[in-house]
Amino acid sequence: MLRLIFFIFVALILYSLLRFFFKSMLSSRKKKDGKQELEELVQDPYCQTYIPRGSALKKRVTGRDYYFCNDKCLKNYVQKEVKNKETKNG
């Protein structure tokens, strides 16, 4: 009798383990699908290069969102924009 209870217990554990594996497999698939959405390309307004939005640097300049390929382009573009504003005002 004890053996039977032990067998049922093991079967239950195996069943829950299988369910856990299936769930984790499904969730990892969903994560991969979400990554594809991030692969949308955005243009760097400073050097005109296209970069995936996921790896681009986002910066808000004069009320608009811009994406840059690296920190150098970001700083150069912001400086240029600030200079343009100053010349307009002065």
User: Minimum CB separation from Zn ion for residue 76, in Å?
Assistant: 8
Structure tokens at 4: 């039977």
- Do 43 and 50 meet the contact criterion of CB atoms below 8 Å apart? yes
User: Minimum CB separation from Zn ion for residue 57, in Å?
Assistant: 9
Q: Is 43 helix (H, G, I), strand (E, B) or coil?
A: strand
Q: Which is nearer to Zn ion, 35 or 72 (CB)?
A: 72
Q: Which is nearer to Zn ion, 47 or 61 (CB)?
A: 47
**CB-neighbour burial class of residue 45 (10 A; exposed 0-12, middle 13-18, buried 19+):** middle
Contact residues toward Zn ion (CB under 5 A) are 44, 47, 49, 69, 73
Q: Which is nearer to Zn ion, 48 or 89 (CB)?
A: 48
Cα distance between residue 10 and residue 19, in whole Å: 14
Q: Which is nearer to Zn ion, 23 or 75 (CB)?
A: 75
User: Minimum CB separation from Zn ion for residue 22, in Å?
Assistant: 44
- Do 52 and 40 meet the contact criterion of CB atoms below 8 Å apart? yes
User: Minimum CB separation from Zn ion for residue 79, in Å?
Assistant: 14
